[in-house]
Chain A
Amino acid sequence: MSLAPSEVEKIAHLARLAINEEDAAAYADNLSNILALVEEMSAVDTADVVPMAHPLDMAQRLRPDVVAETDQREAFQAVAPQTDAGLYLVPKVLE
Chain B
Amino acid sequence: MHAKTIAELSAGLRAREFSSEELTRAFLDRIAAHDGRLNSFITVTAEQALDAARAADARLQAGDAGPLTGVPIAHKDIFCTRGVRTSCGSKMLDNFAAPYESHVTEQLGAAGMVMLGKTNMDEFAMGSSNETSFYGPVKNPWDTEVVPGGSSGGSAAAVAARLAPAATGTDTGGSIRQPAALCGLTGLKPTYGRVSRYGMIAFASSLDQAGPMTRSAEDAALLLGAMAGFDPRDSTCVDREVPDYTAGLNDSIAGLKIGLPKEYFGEGLDPAIGKVVDAAIDEYRKLGAEVVEISLPNTGLSVPTYYVVAPAECSSNLSRFDGVRFGYRCENPRDLEDLYKRSRGEGFGAEVKRRIMIGAYALSAGYYDAYYLKAQQLRRLISDDFKKAFEQVDVIMGPTTPTAAFKIGEKFNDPVTMYLSDIYTIAVNLAGLPGMSIPAGFANGLPVGLQIIGNYFDEARLLNAAHQYQQATDWHCQVPAGFE
Q: Which residues of A contact B238 (CB under 8 A)?
A: 56, 58
Q: Which residues of A contact B193 (CB under 8 A)?
A: 55-56, 58
Interface status of B416 (Cβ within 8 A of chain A): yes
Tell me the nearest residue of chain B to A60, going by C-beta.
B235
Q: Which secondary structure dominates chain A's binding surface?
A: loop
Q: Which residues of B contact A8 (CB under 8 A)?
A: 357
Q: Which secondary structure dominates chain B's binding surface?
A: helix
The answer on a CB contact under 8 Å between A52 and B380 is: yes
Known: A56-B236, A81-B329. A42 touches B374 (CB 8 A): yes
Tell me the nearest residue of chain B to A50, going by C-beta.
B380
The answer on a CB contact under 8 Å between B99 and A75 is: yes
Select which of B96, B97, B301, B357 is within 8 A of A41 by beta carbon.
Answer: B301
Interface status of B373 (Cβ within 8 A of chain A): yes
Tell me the nearest residue of chain A to B86, going by C-beta.
A79
Interface status of A39 (Cβ within 8 A of chain B): yes
Known: A16-B337, A37-B303. A31 touches B377 (CB 8 A): no
Least Cβ–Cβ distance between B351 and chain A, in angstroms: 9
Tell me the nearest residue of chain A to B334, going by C-beta.
A91
Interface status of B419 (Cβ within 8 A of chain A): yes
Known: A16-B337, A30-B415, A52-B380. A39 touches B304 (CB 8 A): yes
Q: Which residues of B contact A82 (CB under 8 A)?
A: 329
Q: How many A-B residue pairs have CB under 8 A?
A: 175
Interface membership of chain A positions 29-44, coded 1 if the CB is closer than 8 angstroms to chain B and 0 otherwise: 0110111111111101
The answer on a CB contact under 8 Å between B99 and A18 is: no
Interface status of A66 (Cβ within 8 A of chain B): no
Q: Which residues of B contact A31 (CB under 8 A)?
A: 354, 357-358, 361
Known: A56-B193, A91-B339. A34 touches B416 (CB 8 A): yes
Known: A50-B380, A91-B336. A41 touches B354 (CB 8 A): no
Select which of A19, A42, A44, A60 is within 8 A of B345 by beta carbon.
Answer: A19
Contact-size category for A: 35 or more
The answer on a CB contact under 8 Å between A51 and B345 is: no
Interface status of A80 (Cβ within 8 A of chain B): yes
Least Cβ–Cβ distance between A75 and chain B, in angstroms: 4
A-B residue pairs, 5 tightest by C-beta: A55-B432, A18-B345, A51-B376, A81-B329, A46-B377
List 10 extra interface pairs beyond A11-B360, A90-B339, CB under 8 A: A16-B341, A41-B308, A46-B381, A52-B380, A54-B206, A55-B193, A55-B383, A58-B236, A61-B235, A79-B327
B positions within 8 Å CB-CB of A:
95-100, 192-193, 206-207, 232, 235-236, 238-239, 298, 300-301, 303-305, 307-308, 315, 319, 322-329, 333-342, 344-346, 348, 353-354, 356-362, 364, 370-371, 373-381, 383, 415-416, 419, 430-433, 456
- Could you list 28 A-B pairs, sorted by A, with CB under 8 Å? A13-B341, A20-B345, A33-B416, A34-B419, A35-B361, A37-B304, A40-B301, A41-B305, A41-B308, A41-B378, A42-B374, A44-B298, A50-B377, A52-B376, A54-B206, A55-B431, A56-B456, A58-B193, A72-B100, A75-B100, A78-B99, A79-B327, A80-B324, A81-B326, A88-B324, A90-B339, A91-B334, A93-B335
